Amino acid sequence: MTAAQLKTHAVFALTRTEIAARLATPRDPVRARSDLQTAAQLLSAADLKPYEGRGAIAFASPAPPDAPRMAAAVLVPLVEREGGFSLILTQRNADLKAHAGQISFPGGRMEQEDANAEAAALREAHEEIGLDPKTVEILGRLDPYRTVTGFDVTPVVGAVSPPLALKPDPVEVAEIFEVPLAFFLDPANHQRHSRTSPSGAVRAYYAMPYQDRYIWGATAGMLVNLYEVLTAK
């Protein structure tokens, strides 16, 4: 095995307690990630390549600079399977006004009744995919993530105990699926893609294509953060 593969194999065997400990380790500095920051960093990447997938991908319109930021939370659900953890992801409906057809974690805007980001993430996961909050053990948070559409997202990591009886919200979610955590912890799967807009502007972003799924943008950015936290020495 290469050094990277050995590192990934070791993380693949992490327990809930060990993942929680890594999430709790102070990250210096812990700063918000963002779509714009990622785009700027990746534009000079030596392995940056144009998007070549099937079908077009739509970029959301950026929020005006003076628009108020909106607090949001997503659940990063780690399902404890016999062969190791897997991650629950959703494919959004193609007819939604925002982020149509994209792959994302269950989550959304925080509401007044939410005590904190953890409560919001659990509520949204229950609404979107029918995940029972009682089956989730909160393990910690990733770094905040700022989207170009005006959301300040708190990614909440939780361990989920099977069996699961998930049911997608027909309005928002087209499909629920799982991907082995080991796939995201292999840096060979962290691709750097770009796309040129009709106006000629180039935007760069992380992409992690899995089988016929195109995982990219903010979701891929949060997954890179998960990789960094879980593989840190």
Q: How far apart are CA 154 and CA 73, in angstroms?
A: 5
Q: How buried is residue 187: exposed, middle or buried, by Cβ count under 10 Å (0-12/13-18/19+)?
A: middle
Residues 97, 68: contact at Cβ < 8 Å? no
| pLDDT at position 56 | 66
For residue 58, what are its two tokens? 């739509």
The pLDDT value recorded for residue 219 is: 96
Q: How far apart are CA 36 and CA 49, in angstroms?
A: 18
Of the candidates 38, 16, 17, 33, the residue with the CA atom closest to the CA atom of residue 74: 33
Domain ranges of the chain: 22-34+60-185+213-231
Distance of CA 118 to the CA centre of its chain: 15
Characterize the bridge pairing of strands 103-104 and 84-92: antiparallel
- The CATH architecture assigned to 22-34+60-185+213-231 reads Alpha-Beta Complex (3.90)
Which parts of the chain register pLDDT below 50?
1, 5-9
Q: Within the chain, how many helices (H) and strands (E) appear?
A: 6, 12
**Neighbouring C-beta atoms of residue 220, cutoff 10 Å:** 24
The rounded distance, in Å, linking the Cα atoms of 85 and 14 is 9
**Who contacts 181 (Cβ-Cβ below 8 Å, separation ≥6)?**
12, 78, 84, 85, 86, 87
Q: What is the pLDDT of residues 175-195, one digit of tens each?
A: 999 999 999 999 999 999 998
Secondary structure element (H or E) that encloses residue 2, with its range = none
Burial class (CB in 10 A: 0-12, 13-18, 19+), 115: exposed
Please name the helix (run of DSSP H) or strand (run of DSSP E) that holds residue 5, with its range, or none: helix 3-12
> Residue 22: helix, strand or coil by DSSP?
helix
The confidence score (pLDDT) of residue 11 equals: 58
Using only C-alpha atoms, what is the Rg of the chain? 17
Residue among 91, 40, 29 nearest 205 (CA): 40
How high is the pLDDT of residue 61?
A: 74
Residue 181 vs residues 9, 22, 178: alpha-carbon distances, Å: 11, 15, 9
Locus of tokens 């939780």: 158
